[in-house]
Structure 1
Amino acid sequence: MSEYQYYEFLAIDRPLTRAEQEELRSLSTRARITATSFINDYQWGNFRGDPRRMVEQYYDAHLYVTNWGTHQVILRLPKGQLTQRAVEPYCFDECFEAWTTETHLILDLRSEDESGDWNEGAEDSLGAIAGVRAELLSGDHRALYLAWLSGIGAWALQDDDEEAYQDEVEPPVPVGLDRLTAPQRALADFLRVDADLLAVAAQASPPAPASRKRPGKKELAPLIAALPEKEKNDLLLRLALGDEPQLGTELVRRLRGELPVATVPGQRTAAELLDAAHALATERRQRAERIRVEARAKKLTALAADEEAIWHEVENHVARKQTARYDTAVALLVELRDACDHTGRSLEFRQRLAALRDRYRHLPGLLRRLDDRALQG
């Protein structure tokens, strides 16, 4: 398969002007460019643009996917509503980087898995993921923690330095990790967050508070009237400037005295999380194997109880002297052999099988199939 790269950008807070779209056209003659999006894919060659610079200047969200295992999301957030200081504890090597421009905070989240299977549906992920941007602006830090989890999960696959795992302490743990939103779940899937690692991490995450109903005019009017004159003027100016699409959400939260979604101090090391995730995965596999074995035993017991009917069915198939019927008869005999072994009737089964082989010794097609499945009698 040839190399494949997919680039997608979204403008969320404001549409691009015609002049800005023309500037971007100089980067690619074949890209699909609108006032709110830029999409291009490559089967060969490379994109001439710099995705980080494009996000800094034009776009609020970017997704990059390759068939050699790269998954990358870049998000741009207005400065002030989420600080770089709050983000830094979650940054992890090249898996999660953050920096600022004059007006924005940029988050770069990346997952690499050269050995993984190519996910042809990953190109559809940005629309599902983009919602985490508004959640981050509202004070919900779960997406940041998910990016950190993705980083230590990838680290564990590449690095055997156990001392480093012991030294890496988890960042603040947001509430509600056990009940991710749809955008957060899409982000976790895209960044390949291990399900067992997430389940272990969620054990230290308190439940998220129930979401409150969006307030109406009756609730908001007296709260707005009580605001100091200067604060009202500042809010109206910010609204008129139109540079803060999330201003309405921020204002409602301030009026109602709602705090950002809380976090609790991180106490576990990466090593403890990874070990607990491995133990959970082992327990889950063992439980699944026990269930499989129990189900198989139940099935074999039922087959053994129906032994005579199965022998009769085998005889009917063989009597038709058709290759497809032989295959069906042999498959039934394999299951019946296992059922008889399970119930202690192996000797009786072999005696009847030997009689069947002798009776149909003139059918080489049947005998060959019986030999292939070790049904010797």
Structure 2
Amino acid sequence: MSEYQYYEFAALDHALDARQQAELRAISTRATITPASFVNTYEWGDLKADPRQLVERYFDAFLYLSNWGTHRLMFRIPGTLLDEQTTAAYCVGDATSAWTTGEHTVLDLIAEDEDGVYEEDWAEGGGEGRLAAMVAARTELAGGDRRLLYLAWLLCVQAGQVPDQNVEPPVPPGLGQLNAALRSATTFLRIDEHLVTAAATASTDDESDADRASRLRHKLASIPQADKDEMLLRVAVGDVQRVRAELLARGDTAVAPDGQDRRTAGQLVALARTYRDDWLRTRHRQQARRKAEHDRAVAAVREQRLATLAARQEQAWRQVEDLIEARKGADYDAAVALLQDLGEISRRLSQTGPYQQRVAELRQSHRRKTTLINRLNRAGLGRVGSS
């Protein structure tokens, strides 16, 4: 396959009506279109529309990936829940952007793989299911959780689009405790986990479930009864996600406290490098330990095999002859391996002379079996100075 592109748009707050679906069908005759989504893949050609315009007009979420390494994630959020002034502190490079369109704010995140690595899993299954794993991050962002915005800023830092001396924006709480949706977004956008770990050192712990429930209980108690009735009505007719976001956003947002010490982009990159080096050293130690354990296990098995073979050497020599007579490559290999074990036993018992003599006789009696002789030669069996 020379090309692979995957486009997925999702309508979350409102279903697409028949007219809107017809408009989308005019863009693509082969896309899968439902009241909640527009999905298409391309092995040749491209989408005949600008994804930005489709999100502005129809959709609340968009995911794109290609086999040349581009990953793109876009969310449309009601402007009453997220405004450009809030996003401006975090969207500071080409990798991230935000703008206002009508009553919404759109957040656009793009990650490019400069090495252009082709991932085989894109060709088999592609992007299916990836957007669904991330849409909860949109609801949380709309509800005041700024972790996705901070991750967007880290994306710009990683892409080299933030000068080293620039100071970070407010660090939201819970950055070191990313939920499944944010972890999926971090992985999809290829944000360095060590950079996230470095940034999270200045993030306060997220509140517990009990504390969150208590805070929400007090928040609900402060909402006028008429407003609660209106929200319940909207939930009943299916506007669940937006109502939840509005409730979470009432009165507070998950932003960094005032007076927080801010670090520069350069300091974060340096700290991430330290974490990465520590991780690599730990991984190398673990790999070395596992290899040593594996080598000891292999050696123990071989010692047991040699001990058993030492007690039945004559049977082993007859087995070598039987394997050779089978005239199959795999049997030749088994015969050579058995001869090598017999050679090791002869060295340990100081019987290399008789062993070499028997190997020489075996080579002579089977000299016309070129395939076997080549294998013996490669194993160094029967040559001068070999054992």
TM-score by length of 2: 0.75
Whether 1:69 and 2:74 are equivalent positions in the alignment is no
Trace 1:106-185 onto structure 2 (pairs within 5 A).
106-113=106-113, 114-118=115-119, 119-120=121-122, 121-124=125-128, 125-155=130-160, 166-185=164-183
- Number of positions where the alignment pairs a residue of Structure 1 with one of Structure 2: 356
User: Residue 330 of structure 2 corresponds to which residue in structure 1?
Assistant: 324
Q: C-alpha distance in 2, partners of 1:349/1:205?
A: 70
Equivalent in the alignment of 1:360: 362
- Structure 1 residues 246-325: aligned runs within 5 Å: 246-251=242-247, 254=250, 260=254, 262=256, 265-268=261-264, 269-299=267-297, 301-303=299-301, 305-306=303-304, 307-309=306-308, 315=317, 318-319=320-321, 320-321=323-324, 322=326, 323-325=329-331
Quote the sequence identity (%): 36
Whole-Å Cα distance in 2 between the matches of residues 165 and 100 of structure 1? 26
Distance in 2 separating the partners of 1:275 and 1:6:
33
How many Å apart are 1:103 and its aligned residue?
0.9
Cα distance in 2 between the residues matched to 1:226 and 1:37: 37
- Alignment partners' CA distance in 2, 1:175 and 1:143: 11
Q: Which runs of 5 or more residues in structure 1 are unaligned?
A: none
Change (3 A) 1:24 1:280: same
Distance in 2, Cα, partners of 1:253 & 1:271: 32
Residue type of the partner of 2:332? Y
Say if 1:200 and 1:276, in contact at 8 Å, map to a contact too: no
CA shift, 1:183, in A, is 1.2
**Aligned residues of 2:2 and 2:43 also touching (Cα < 8 A):** yes
Of stretches 56-65 and 111-120 in structure 1, the one that deviates more from structure 2 is 111-120
Q: Give the Å deviation of 1:370.
A: 4.2
Cα displacement (A) at 1:223: 7.0
Cα displacement (A) at 1:282: 2.9
Rounded to whole Å, the distance in 2 between the matches of 1:92 and 1:292 is 44
Q: Conserved in 1, the CA contact under 8 Å of 2:194 and 2:273?
A: no
Partners of 1:9 and 1:59 within 8 A in 2: yes
Contact 1:128 1:186 in 2 (8 A): yes
In the other structure, the counterpart of 1:208 is 206
- 1:11-39 per-residue CA deviation (whole Å, 9 max, x = no partner) reads 00010121111222221122221111111
Structure number with greater Rg is: 2
Give the Cα–Cα distance (whole angstroms) in 2 for the partners of residues 133 and 351 of structure 1.
78
Mapped partners of 2:98, 2:358: distance in 1: 74
User: Following TM superposition, by how much is the alpha carbon of 1:100 offset from its aligned partner in structure 2, in angstroms?
Assistant: 1.4
Distance in 2 (alpha carbons) for counterparts of 1:349 and 1:95: 72
Letter in 1 for 2:360: D
Aligned Cα root-mean-square deviation (Å)? 3.9
Q: 1:168 to 1:18 in 2, by over 3 A?
A: same
